Amino acid sequence: MILPPVHAIFFDAVGTLIHPEPPAPEVYQAVGQRYGSAVALADIRRRFSAAFHEEDALDRAVDWRTSEASEVERWRRIVGAVLDDVSDPVACFRELFEHFSRAEAWRCDRDTESVLKELAARGYRLGMASNYDERLRSVAAGLPALRPIQHLVISSEVGWRKPAGQFFGAICEAIRLPPEQVLYVGDDPANDFAGARAAGLQAVLFDAADQHPDGVARIHQLSELSRLLPKT
């Protein structure tokens, strides 16, 4: 059980509350083909993963500092690494970047809306905090399931990416609560779970695919969160 008193619950965005639909590699392939790319889907998946690892190394080298401009350039490098054979890299990047700014490019799990409504009804203040950019605001605003979310903390706006302690400090500042009264839920063991715990927040790992070992507070679907929370 999560230790009381928890008054606010913040969720990671991508992989926890929202999921690209169709999956990002399939979108990259479809858009890339319109610009002459011949990269196979399996190679796109592999390149996508490799590009993220490279970007993580760059982020670590600058102590997880970021900005809106940095996030745009980050995605420009990722698109360029994944689709290196397109006829018009500028137009290809622009189309992909704009695609993921639209709510219809994303879906929520079936139980997301009911879980968030229940938590809000129980008096918890809800937020979403993500390594993302300003596009998250249009995505969140266009997904009805996320209406109970009251607060958004976005890395490009606060100047720090997870797992920086300053990112989680921005959550506490936004909600005006000490860290021990905030629960963070996310799917990344290092960025979400360990990052939040290191900053003094309580944390739960969202492990939908059951990929991570026991020994941490974790759930396999959002509806399991209720059983971990104190009765109110």
Domain 8-18+108-228 annotated CATH 3.30.300.30: no
| All structural domains of the chain with their residue ranges | 8-18+108-228, 24-104
Spatial distance between the Cα atoms of 52 and 12, rounded to a whole number of angstroms: 17
Q: What is the pLDDT of residue 232?
A: 56
Spatial distance between the Cα atoms of 153 and 159, rounded to a whole number of angstroms: 10
Q: What is the pLDDT of residue 150?
A: 96
Stated pTM of the model: 0.94
Q: At what angle do helices 68-82 and 24-34 cross, to 10 degrees?
A: 70
Dihedral, 70, 74, 80, 81 alpha carbons, nearest 10? 150
Q: At what angle do helices 89-99 and 68-82 cross, to 10 degrees?
A: 120
Tens digits of residue pLDDT in 35-85: 999 999 999 999 999 999 999 999 999 999 999 999 999 999 999 999 999
Phi first, then psi: what are they for 154, rounded to 5°? -120, 130
Tens digits of residue pLDDT in 124-183: 999 999 999 999 999 999 999 999 999 999 999 999 999 999 999 999 999 999 999 999
CB 186 within 8 A of CB 207: no
Distances (CA, A) of 101 to 1, 24, 97, 124, 130: 36, 13, 7, 28, 14
Q: What pLDDT band is residue 97 in, cutting at 50, 70 and 90?
A: very high
- Of the candidates 95, 80, 20, 12, the one whose C-alpha atom is nearest the C-alpha of residue 44 is 80
Per-residue pLDDT for 210 more than 90?
A: no
Alpha helices in 83-214 (DSSP H): 89-99, 112-121, 135-141, 155-158, 165-175, 195-198
- What's the whole-number average pLDDT of the chain? 95
